[in-house]
Amino acid sequence: MLVAGIDVGSLSTDVVIMDAGCEVVGYAVVATGAHAQQAAQEGLAVALERAECRRDDIEMVVSTGYGRNIVNGAQRGVTEITCHAKGAHFLFPETGTVIDIGGQDSKVIRLKSGGRVADFAMNDKCAAGTGRFLEVMAQAMSVDLSEMGPRSLESKEFVQVSSLCTVFAESEVVSLIAQGRAIEDILNGLHHAIADRISSLVRRVGKGSTITMTGGVAKNIGVVAALEQKLEATFQIPKEPQIVGAIGAAIIALEHLECRDAGDRTGAAA
Amino acid sequence: MEAPLIRFPTGPTVNRVSSVGFLNEVLIDYYRTVMQARDRGQLIAYVFDGFPTEILWAMNIVPVFPQKYSGMYVTQSARPGCSSGVDIFNFIEGQAGYSQDICASARASVAMALYNDELERFGNPLWSMPKPDLLISANNICDTVAMYAKEIVKRYDIPAFCLDTPYIFGDPDPNAIRYIVRQVRELIEFLETISGQRLDRDRLVEAWINSARATVFWSQTLDLAARRPSPTCGLDITNHLLPFIMLRGTEGAAHYYRTLKAEVEERVRTGVAALPNERHRILWDIDPVYHRINYFGQRLARYGAVVVGILYTYVTALELSTAPPASTDPDEVIEGLARVIYTFHLNRDLDNRLRLVAHMVKKFGVDAMVINTNRGCKACSGLLYEVNHAVRERHGIPVLTIDCDVLDPRFFSEGQIETRVDAFLETLD
């Protein structure tokens, strides 16, 4: 028996195929683009190919993310808050708090037993402190997204980026570059700006004993370092943090199909 | 002229009270009264939430609430093909230069008052707000209301009266009540001068007794939501608040609430629920989101959640309980009116708000709360996060805070709100 979890986000659509033993047998990450429905089907097709199975083999599909209600063939839509909590708990059962920074959303989730959500807080009104923020800055600085983290760790001098708004922060960055400030220092400042915003969300819901970070921005080791410093903690980070929401959705599908121990099985970090 | 059908949306899954038909008639009758006032030689007074209209009805002066007209306008506009009320805000910001950071109540009320002729009226002059002959304001809601009222006064060059209500820290201050009683007496003199008629004190007493009766029926109706399952949804029943605000003091209002109460009691007797699959009982703070009532009604219903109480609606039924009981002594009635103005809920401190919340949580068997920041309204939103903390700590129930504006439909990000509301309801399940 196989199930699928499909997470349709603003930037990427992530699909996970899972078997009854809670093993991830195939997954895919595709760009959402302008056509979320199409992206969901494309992602599913790629994941099925990698899992070497067919669409008919999938007994249940659970969708999540902003596009969860428009996925053709999904039997159920569940919010990404519930799915990230479920997925993080599955990967790291000791998780007390989840920090998820995605394309346009950042969220902090406090867990209770069984990977269920006790409380959550999200960014309000704007995308400052999210993946979109980093994309804009990468472009402004002519730096590849994948370089931002490693380069920021070479910072020698702290630079405060004070703007709260992504658009205004971009102007500030351009100004800092013109003043001759080092790219590494600016990158470090940006990552600390994100850490400031996230840590206030963590304070709002309460910091659990173990923090798991999910979402694409968890791949940025500079943001992770800034957050760990701010929160005085060491994070658990899955091998593929972007697909945690889809993993959670797949777990929920298994639970629904009465594989009751699905949520409590310890899985290897994906 | 054909009477329009007023839209009171709550979503198809909520079993709304059928008195909504009667409500439609009562409100249309009120709007006709407003429209025909001048022809009948009646003066029109602009007034604001929390003002006891008994004085005006007793003097045959017609009260008009710019805040209520603009609220109705936004609710009626929230349908396909209509502007969703955005035209009011574009207008006041564009033509009159008001900043978006000013509260939506100010922007919408001034737009309705000064530019009503230029706004969409659904082809029906019943929606027009007539020009006022006088204006009565107070700072019991907030200072912003008193300030934007001045703008309306200036534009129309009309006589105006502003009541000063000291903020209540703790319990009402007898000195402040005396101060406001004196102002109410001055207000009466002011109205007598402008209208050229003496206040008939017997009519004032009669209006006060009508209000007392309406209040009893209204509060008894609201209290029935404590039953399980609730016979009413708070989002639906809030529509029925309008006569209580605009027609208080009239025999029609007393009759209306007697009828409404009877219908809801019948629902309790026959086991009719607002939401047959009720699983979660929600307390909502503070106003409903007027341009999205349908949206929230449906969204909550999907998860078996029904709003059993809304703070904004419930406080109205409590106001008269702080005044002397129904009295036939005109001086006691005047003091009662002063108390109604003075103890308006936004004129009271955090502790009072928390007492009210505690009362509602216990009374209505609430198991979760939704707080809307009502972006832009400092009077509403200033205490919010304290209420949030207190509810979690003292009552142990989960609280969701959503960030949007109850009147301005542009400050509503559906994707973000939907995620938060759905995730919260998933935690309840």
The helix/strand/coil state of B382 is: coil
| Mean pLDDT score of chain B | 88
Contact present, B84 and B298 (Cβ < 8 Å): no
Q: Which range marks the domain in which residue B251 is found? A: 20-428
d(CA B389, CA B391): 6
Q: Whole-angstrom Cα distance, residue A199 to residue A192?
A: 10
Residues 6+ apart with CB under 8 A from B366: B281, B282, B283, B308, B309, B360, B395, B397
Whether B314 is covered by a domain: the verdict is yes
Contacts of B381 in chain A (CB under 8 A): none
What is the pLDDT, as a whole number, of residue B291? Answer: 83
Q: Across residues B24-46, what is the average pLDDT?
A: 92
Alpha carbon distances (Å) from B62 to A110, A126, B88, B207: 54, 45, 24, 14
CATH class as words, domain A1-92+239-270:
alpha beta
Strands (E), B275-398: 280-285, 305-310, 368-372
Has residue B10 been placed in a domain? no
Residue B12 domain-assigned (yes or no)? no
Task: Kindly report, residue by residue over A165-187, the tens digit of the pLDDT.
Answer: 888 888 899 999 999 999 999 99
Q: Closest Cα partner for B326 from B216, B178, B177?
A: B216
> What pLDDT sits at residue B281?
97
pLDDT grade, residue B171 (50/70/90)? Answer: very high
Residue B426 to residue A117, Cβ atoms within 8 A: yes
In a domain, B13, yes or no: no
Yes or no, beta carbons of B415 and A78 under 8 Å apart: no
- Rounded to whole angstroms, the Cα distance separating A207 from A197 reads 14
Can you give the residue ranges of every domain in chain A? 1-92+239-270, 94-237
- Predicted local distance difference test score (pLDDT) of residue B10: 58
In a domain, B252, yes or no: yes
Our CA angle for B296, B297, B302, nearest 5°, is 95
Asked if residue B9 is part of any domain, the answer here is no
Question: Position of tokens 């027009």?
Answer: B128
Partner residue facing A124 (CB), from B398, B403, B423: B403
The string of pLDDT tens digits covering residues B217-238 is: 999 999 999 999 999 999 888 8
Residues of B in contact with A78 (CB under 8 A): 426
> For the segment A91-148, what is each residue's pLDDT rounded down to a tens digit?
999 999 999 998 888 999 999 988 999 999 998 667 777 888 898 999 999 999 999 9
Query: What's the farthest any 2 CA atoms get from each other in chain A?
Result: 61
Report the residue from B419, B423, B427 with minimal CB separation from A66: B419
Q: Measure the CA–CA gap between A48 and A54, rounded to whole angstroms.
A: 6
What pLDDT is recorded for position A262? 54
A66, A81, A125 member nearest B423 (Cβ): A81
Whether the Cβ atoms of residue B234 and residue B308 lie closer than 8 Å to each other: yes
Q: Which region holds residue B168: left if phi is over 0, alpha if psi is between -120 and 50, else beta?
A: beta
Residue B157 maps to a domain = yes
As a whole-number percent, the residues of chain B with pLDDT over 70 amount to 91
CATH topology (fold) of A94-237: Nucleotidyltransferase; domain 5 (3.30.420)
Under a CB-based contact definition with an 8 Å cutoff, are residues B326 and B205 in contact? no
Exposed, middle or buried, A221 (CB in 10 Å: 0-12/13-18/19+)? middle
pLDDT digits (tens, 9 = 90+) for B136-167: 999 999 999 999 999 999 999 999 999 999 99
Mean pLDDT of B8-30: 77
**Fold match, A1-92+239-270 / A94-237:** yes
Q: Do the strands A106-111 and A117-122 form a parallel or antiparallel pair, or are they unpaired?
A: antiparallel
pLDDT greater than 90 at residue B361: yes
pLDDT band at A269 (very low <50, low <70, confident <90, very high): very low
Confidence grade of residue A266 (pLDDT, cut at 50, 70, 90): very low
Name residue, tokens 């005006």: B56
- Contact residues, chain B, for A125 at CB < 8 Å: 403, 413, 416
Spell out which chain B residues touch chain A, with contact meaning CB-CB distance below 8 angstroms: 398, 403, 413, 415-416, 419-420, 422-423, 426-427
The secondary structure of B246-267, three-state, reads: HCCCCHHHHHHHHHHHHHHHHH
pLDDT value of residue A101: 92
Query: Strand A2-8 vs strand A12-19: parallel, antiparallel, or unpaired?
Result: antiparallel
DSSP chain A: -EEEEEEE-SSEEEEEEEETT--EEEEEEEE-TT-HHHHHHHHHHHHHHHHT--GGGEEEEEEESTTGGG-TT-SEE--HHHHHHHHHHHH-TT--EEEEE-SS-EEEEEE-GGG-EEEEEE--SS-TTSHHHHHHHHHHHT--HHHHHHHHTT--S------SSHHHHHHHHHHHHHTT--HHHHHHHHHHHHHHHHHHHHHHH---SSEEEESGGGG-HHHHHHHHHHHT---B--SSGGGHHHHHHHHHHHHHTT-TTGGGS-----
Phi and psi of B167, rounded to 5°?
-65, 145
CA dihedral B27, B33, B34, B39 (to 10 degrees): 160
Specify the pairing of strand B280-285 against strand B368-372. Answer: parallel
Contacts of residue A35, defined as CB under 8 A and 6 or more positions apart, other chains included, come to: none
Question: Total structural domains in chain B?
Answer: 1
Q: Is the pLDDT of residue B341 over 90?
A: yes
> What percent of chain B lies above the pLDDT cut of 90?
58
- Which two three-digit tokens encode residue A9? 């986000």
**Which residues, at least 6 apart from B39, have a Cβ–Cβ distance to it below 8 Å?**
none
Quote the Cα angle for B2-B6-B7, to 5°: 140
Please answer whether residues A263 and A114 qualify as being in contact, where contact means their C-beta atoms are separated by less than 8 angstroms: yes
CB contact under 8 A, B419 and A116: no
Q: Chain B: nearest CA to A103, how far in angstroms? A: 13
Mean pLDDT of B240-253: 91
Q: Is the peptide bond before B286 cis (omega within 30 degrees of 0)?
A: yes
Amino acid at position B262, single letter: A
The answer, yes or no, to whether residue B375 has pLDDT greater than 80, is no
| Candidates B416, B418, B421, B425, partner chain A, best to mutate (most A CBs within 10 A) | B416
Q: Is B21 helix (H, G, I), strand (E, B) or coil?
A: helix
Confidence of residue B323 (pLDDT cuts 50, 70, 90): very low
Q: What's the mean per-residue pLDDT of chain A?
A: 90
A vs B: CB pairs below 8 A: 32
Residue B123 per-residue DSSP state: T
B14 found inside a domain: no
**How much is the pTM?**
0.88
Q: What residues does B162 pair with on adjacent strands?
A: B137
- What is the tens place of the pLDDT at every residue in B174-208? 999 999 999 999 999 999 999 999 999 999 999 99
Q: Distance between terminal CA atoms of chain B?
A: 50
Q: Say what percent of chain A tops pLDDT 90.
A: 73
Of B403, B415, B427, nearest to A66 by CB-CB distance is B415
Q: Is A82 on the interface with B (CB under 8 A)?
A: yes
pLDDT number for residue B123: 47
CA atoms within 13 A on the CB side of B342: 27
Q: How far apart are CA B333 and CA B325, in angstroms?
A: 9
Nearest-Cα distance to chain B for A152, in Å, is 31
Residue B85: closest CA among B378, B239, B290, B294 = B290
The alpha carbon of residue A43 is apart from the nearest alpha carbon of chain B, in Å, by 22
Which pLDDT tens digit goes with each residue over B65-112?
999 888 888 877 776 666 667 888 888 888 788 998 889 989 989 988
The per-residue pLDDT for B326 is: 66
Residue B259: predicted pLDDT: 94
From A66's Cα to the closest Cα of chain B, the distance in A is 7
- ipTM for the assembly: 0.84
